[in-house]
Amino acid sequence: QSYCTAPGQDHWHHYWAHLDGAGVANLAEVLQPQGRLSPVTVSRLEMQPLFESLAAEWEHGAAAQIEICLALHRMLALMARQLLAGDESRSNRTLIEQAAEYIRQHYAEPLSLDSLLTQTPVSKSWFLRLFRQYMGTTPYNFLLSTRITRAKELLVLTDFSVCEIAHQVGFGDESNFSTRFTAMVGQSPQQYRKSAMKPAEN
């Protein structure tokens, strides 16, 4: 490590602290995953008062050891909380990505929110909140969008009837399919097929 004097300052004071004990050891496992230091981004509004408290208490020497230890432990706890929050965020994103992929793979099957929840270890309300946060919509609308997207492909690439396509993409009947398709696409399935198949004008 190398240090230099700050511009306009005569000298710096460097303080070193050695922390030990069961509480510190537990936090070390979080702050040093696989024995490696991890950078932690913390709020200045939360951390600066702790540094100021340390600087003030250090001037009082041994009489302030308890306050100094408490401030140092609060700093470590704050950094550990930030790291754990990051891990939780990554875990939540992975959970929702897996749920979305499950919908993509099983869109043609009868799917319900309850069936999705069997794949996830969280409550219904929390799952819905996370899904909207990461996917920008509800699971039901995501399922509808997936089905309609596949239906558009089948309308253009095959000569299956609208009724056959409706069942292939997971709709129980042609009427419900046509209603949903028209609402989302702005054209009925027949109109979409005709417009998609219409040769481009020169």
Instruction: Report d(CA 153, CA 168) in Å as an integer.
Output: 12
Tokens of 195: 């417009």
What's the pLDDT tens digit per position in 105-120? 999 999 989 888 887 7
Q: What does the mean pLDDT of the chain come to?
A: 82
- Alpha carbon distance 136, 108 (integer Å): 22
Q: How far apart are CA 69 and CA 76, in angstroms?
A: 11
Distance of alpha carbon 83 from alpha carbon 60, whole angstroms? 32
pLDDT at 200 over 60: no
pLDDT at 60: 72
Domain boundaries, the chain: 105-197
Evaluate whether the domain defined by 105-197 bears CATH number 1.10.10.60. yes
CA dihedral 109, 114, 119, 121 (to 10 degrees): 170
Q: pTM of this prediction? A: 0.59
CA 130-30-82 angle, to 5 degrees, is: 45
- The answer to which of 29-43, 85-99, 128-142, 155-169 has the lowest mean pLDDT is 29-43
Query: What dihedral do alpha carbons 72, 76, 82, 87 form, nearest 10°?
Result: 180
> Model confidence over 135-154: pLDDT tens digits?
889 999 999 999 999 999 99
